Amino acid sequence: MSLTDRAIARIRELIQDGELEPGSRLPPEPQLAAELGMSRNLTREAVKALVVARVLEIRRGDGTYVTSLEPALLLEGLGSAVELLRGDTTLELTEVRRLFEPAATGLAASRISKDGLAEVKRHLDAMVQARDDVERLNEYDAAFHRAVIAATGNATLATLLDGISSRTVRVRVWRGLLDDNAGERTIAEHRAIYSALAAGDAALAQAAALMHVNTTDRWLRDHLNADGRDRTAAALD
């Protein structure tokens, strides 16, 4: 571990131990450096790294503060990192989605409010209207799932799933361009999810979501087998 990494780890420890609470102001640089047992240059580099990571924020003319440390803030870079993944890692992402999204959908069924259900229905209706437009259909598809996951009330789960969705949406768009019947099947699968949510049936909602996610996963696997990984990677990248 480099000296800068040690300084970063020490500041993280101060936050994890509660010595620096969310929203609290860090000591002035000379004092912080002394507390860390590091030079001011190393301390400054550590602070810069934690600012990039959204753990700290610099308020010009006021000082450096610990951020809110909310999941949406700390994990917002996940989507950008996912976009940089290449090749058959896309298949890994669909597997992650298959593991998490059905369980989250089942949880949503037990927690969703009337307003939340209405929001899901609004996106489903928009999907029906856009059934002949692959790009718009998948835009509303993504919004549908965001509304479902938001209904869990679990911000960490919502941020993680949203972070991996950008790459899997591209797979769904690709499928829609190659498969003329994909749109109708997608809408039918979303209707099944909505019906389970409306019934408050967690087990049925989880099963419907698993069937839906598995459709994309199976299509991608079949296409990889038919056309080869290199061509698939090029299409997705």
Q: Is 171 exposed, middle or buried (0-12, 13-18, 19+ CB in 10 A)?
A: buried
pLDDT of 235 above 60: no
63: helix, strand or coil: strand
Q: Domain 74-236 is classified in which CATH homologous superfamily?
A: GntR ligand-binding domain-like (1.20.120.530)
Domain span(s) for CATH 1.20.120.530 in the chain: 74-236
Within the chain, strands assigned E span 56-59, 63-66
Between CA 160 and CA 171 the distance in angstroms is 18
CB 159 within 8 A of CB 76: yes
Strand partners, 65: 25, 57
Domain span(s) for CATH 1.10.10.10 in the chain: 3-69
When pLDDT is cut at 50, 70 and 90, the band that residue 82 belongs to is low
When pLDDT is cut at 50, 70 and 90, the band that residue 26 belongs to is very high
Task: Reply yes or no on domain 3-69 having CATH 3.30.70.1150.
Answer: no
What 8-state DSSP symbol labels residue 46?
H
Mean pLDDT, rounded, of the chain = 85
